[in-house]
Amino acid sequence: MKDIKKAKKVQFSSGTIKRLSLYLRKLKTIQDNNVNVISSSAITQLLNVTPAQFRKDLSYFGGFGKRGVGYNVSLLIKEIEDILGINQEWKIALVGTGKLGSALLGFEGFSKFNLKITCAFDNQKNKIGENIGNIKIIDIKNLEKIIKKQNIKMAIIATPPEVAQNMASQLVKAGIKGIMNFAPVFITVNKNVVVSNIDMASELENLVFFVKRGELKT
Amino acid sequence: MKDIKKAKKVQFSSGTIKRLSLYLRKLKTIQDNNVNVISSSAITQLLNVTPAQFRKDLSYFGGFGKRGVGYNVSLLIKEIEDILGINQEWKIALVGTGKLGSALLGFEGFSKFNLKITCAFDNQKNKIGENIGNIKIIDIKNLEKIIKKQNIKMAIIATPPEVAQNMASQLVKAGIKGIMNFAPVFITVNKNVVVSNIDMASELENLVFFVKRGELKT
DNA sequence: ACGTGTGAACCGATTCACAGCA
DNA sequence: TGCTGTGAATCGGTTCACACGT
């Protein structure tokens, strides 16, 4: 995480980026309420984030506020979209069209943020050629060809765990640089490819632990 | 996070618990390969975790290894299942049976770990009474009654964002102590209820950022 | 006067390094 | 000897507190 151009200091955590997404959502609802200017303490009120954290997170990318005043809402939205890179559309490949995969294909949450699943792959003969929404399911054999042709850089793996690692390797070979993995296995790839593992069972186990202890979690 | 009985020191992070899930998965595949004893460095090889981290995580709950030897695989599996609390079955209520909700109903990853969705709620008249798998969709109006009767402590929210907070409040009123929230809003509840927010669009945005920068993420 | 931007202080989590035991 | 268990050292992220600009 060195050499980030826009950053003034070299040090921001991946938590900073997660929170920027959070701020962005909040800012959009604020904008919908026709509020034009907001202070760091007002926006962080309901977000489990301190005002100082908010200001510091933004400070890594520049000073977007006015001292004594606050932040211009619509301007800040633009800036954060810029930082996150969602001011342009991103094409996403989906691998595995079982229940979860199909659900993700129809998930409105992605399109809202310029993230668009443009192709879906499966290995089951009876599925290939079928449509889910307006996306046609493609034979997994054509994965590399299609991804290269469409110049896709990000992919979602929603396959059974047994084949997830294999799929990941194929995706990387096809030029994919970011993978969101829903299969409950830890997949490993080149250092220059980013993987985000979303292990839902593990999240639930986590919950069980804290529920069982009757404990407070942050 | 004070007063944890089994813990020797008072200090383990929620990261520790997440990693215990990870270790558990790995241990199970190791067991499937008929390996009986394993060292901290062998098991952490492919997990992005240091051996010291592994040992320290376990040390919060007791000493399960043999010096000079390593850890007994099946014994450690039992111990971790014990710590996590998944040695008993946990009933889970599902709220919202759209695409994502239905997908979760059929998700095999949960049942493997003693996590069982036993009831599903929706507010759409045409869905109520229908079955998904062997679970009947129940009118949301009966949420509190059913959850209390079945003595359910955990719930999954898979509704549109507009109603998620309202649902969360109802769940808490019904006695739910742990909530996994898939709706892309930040929901707030009593301090004694645990919420795990899974924001998939935000995860993807995160990925976009690091892909765009051509950066390495941990 | 008010709220931002930020170096410094703080705090918690990870890693180190080694004593202790099989 | 080899690997665990753990206090001590380190590292990195969060919070503090205040100078600065409006």
Q: Confirm whether B167 is domain-assigned.
A: yes
User: Do residue A79 and residue A117 come from a single domain?
Assistant: no
Q: A177 contacts in B (CB within 8 Å)?
A: 211, 214
Partners of A92 in beta bridges? A117, A154
- Residue B182 Cα distances to A61, A62, B30, angstroms: 29, 32, 32
Mean pLDDT by 10 residues, chain B (218 residues): 34 93 95 97 95 98 96 98 95 96 90 92 97 95 98 97 96 97 91 92 93 63
The token pair at B50 is: 């240091």
Q: Confirm whether A161 is domain-assigned.
A: yes
Q: Are B176 and B155 in contact (CB under 8 A)?
A: yes
User: Do residue A169 and residue A108 come from a single domain?
Assistant: yes
The tally of CA atoms less than 13 A away on the side-chain side of residue B196 is 23
Residue keyed to tokens 């200001």? A55
User: Do residue A70 and residue A17 come from a single domain?
Assistant: yes
Question: What pLDDT is stored for residue A3 in this prediction?
Answer: 32
Separation between Cα atoms, residue B172 and residue B186, nearest integer Å: 16
CATH of residue B176: 3.40.50.720
Q: A209 contacts in B (CB within 8 Å)?
A: 17, 83-85
User: Do residue A67 and residue A152 come from a single domain?
Assistant: no
The CA–C1' separation of B56 and D12, in angstroms, is: 19
Q: Please return the burial class of A163, using the count of CB atoms within 10 Å of its CB with bins 0-12, 13-18 and 19+.
A: middle
User: Do residue A149 and residue A51 come from a single domain?
Assistant: no
Residue A206 to residue B109, Cβ atoms within 8 A = no
B residues 139-178 lying closer than 8 A (beta carbon) to A: 153-154, 177-178
Separation between Cα atoms, residue A119 and residue A155, nearest integer Å: 10
Concatenated DSSP letters of A148-159: HHHT--EEEE-S
Q: Confirm whether B209 is domain-assigned.
A: no
Q: Confirm whether B10 is domain-assigned.
A: yes
Question: What pLDDT is stored for residue B9 in this prediction?
Answer: 36
b/e code B136-175 from CB counts within 10 Å (16+ = b): ebbebeebeebbeeeebbbbbbbbebebbbebbebbbebe
Question: What pLDDT is stored for residue A8 in this prediction?
Answer: 32
User: Do residue B109 and residue B152 come from a single domain?
Assistant: yes
User: Do residue A188 and residue A120 come from a single domain?
Assistant: yes
Question: What pLDDT is stored for residue A216 in this prediction?
Answer: 37
Q: pLDDT exceeding 70 applies to what percent of chain A?
A: 94
Quickly state the pLDDT bin for A191 (edges 50, 70, 90).
Answer: confident
Q: Confirm whether A39 is domain-assigned.
A: yes
Count of domains observed in chain B: 2
User: Could you list the residue range(s) of the whole structural domain that residue A165 is in?
Assistant: 90-200
User: Do residue A114 and residue A190 come from a single domain?
Assistant: yes
B residues 67-126 lying closer than 8 A (beta carbon) to A: 83-86, 90, 92, 99-100, 102-104, 106-107, 109-110, 112-113, 115
User: Do residue A79 and residue A101 come from a single domain?
Assistant: no
Residue B201 to residue A112, Cβ atoms within 8 A = yes
Task: Using the 3D structure, point to which of A42, A63, A84 is the last residue of a domain.
Answer: A84
User: Do residue A65 and residue A105 come from a single domain?
Assistant: no
Q: What is the mean pLDDT of residues A101-108?
A: 90
Angle at A13 between CA A203 and CA A67, to 5 degrees: 120
Separation between Cα atoms, residue A84 and residue B182, nearest integer Å: 21
Residue B210 to residue A4, Cβ atoms within 8 A = no
Question: What pLDDT is stored for residue A113 in this prediction?
Answer: 86
Each residue's pLDDT tens digit, B69-106: 999 999 999 999 999 999 999 999 999 999 999 999 98
User: Do residue A132 and residue A164 come from a single domain?
Assistant: yes
Among the partner-chain residues A113, A186, A199, the one whose CB lies closest to the CB of B205 is A113
The CA–C1' separation of A63 and C4, in angstroms, is: 8
A residues 184-203 lying closer than 8 A (beta carbon) to B: 184-186, 188, 191-192, 194, 196, 198-203
- Intra-chain end-to-end CA distance of chain B, in Å: 26
Q: Confirm whether B214 is domain-assigned.
A: no
Q: What is the mean pLDDT of residues A49-73?
A: 97
List, in order, residues 6 or more apart from B163 with CB less than 8 Å away: none
Strand arrangement, sheet containing B70-72: B37-38, B70-72, B65-66
Residue keyed to tokens 């930082």? A83
Distance from CA of A207 to the nearest CA of B (A): 6
Evaluate if the CB of B101 falls below 7 Å from strand D: no
The CA–C1' separation of A15 and D4, in angstroms, is: 33
List, in order, residues 6 or more apart from B2 with CB less than 8 Å away: B10
Amino acid at position A201, single letter: A
Question: What pLDDT is stored for residue B112 in this prediction?
Answer: 83
The enclosing H or E element of A128 equals none
Distance from CA of A141 to the nearest CA of B (A): 25
Separation between Cα atoms, residue B180 and residue B167, nearest integer Å: 12
Evaluate if the CB of B63 falls below 7 Å from strand D: yes
Task: Using the 3D structure, point to which of A84, A111, A127 is the last residue of a domain.
Answer: A84
User: Do residue B127 and residue B177 come from a single domain?
Assistant: yes
Tell which of A209, A215, A216 to mutate to test the B interface (max B CBs under 10 Å). Answer: A209
The CA–C1' separation of A49 and C2, in angstroms, is: 21
Task: Using the 3D structure, point to which of A84, A108, A140 is the last residue of a domain.
Answer: A84
Among the partner-chain residues B47, B107, B154, the one whose CB lies closest to the CB of A186 is B47
Q: Confirm whether B206 is domain-assigned.
A: no
Amino acid at position A74, single letter: S
The CA–C1' separation of A13 and D11, in angstroms, is: 13
Q: What is the mean pLDDT of residues A43-63?
A: 96
Quickly state the pLDDT bin for A57 (edges 50, 70, 90).
Answer: very high
CATH of residue B34: 1.10.10.10
Q: Please return the burial class of A34, using the count of CB atoms within 10 Å of its CB with bins 0-12, 13-18 and 19+.
A: exposed
Among the partner-chain residues A107, A177, A205, the one whose CB lies closest to the CB of B100 is A107
Q: Confirm whether A205 is domain-assigned.
A: no
Question: What pLDDT is stored for residue B11 in this prediction?
Answer: 78
Distance from CA of B139 to the nearest CA of A (A): 22
Higher-confidence residue: B70 or A10? B70
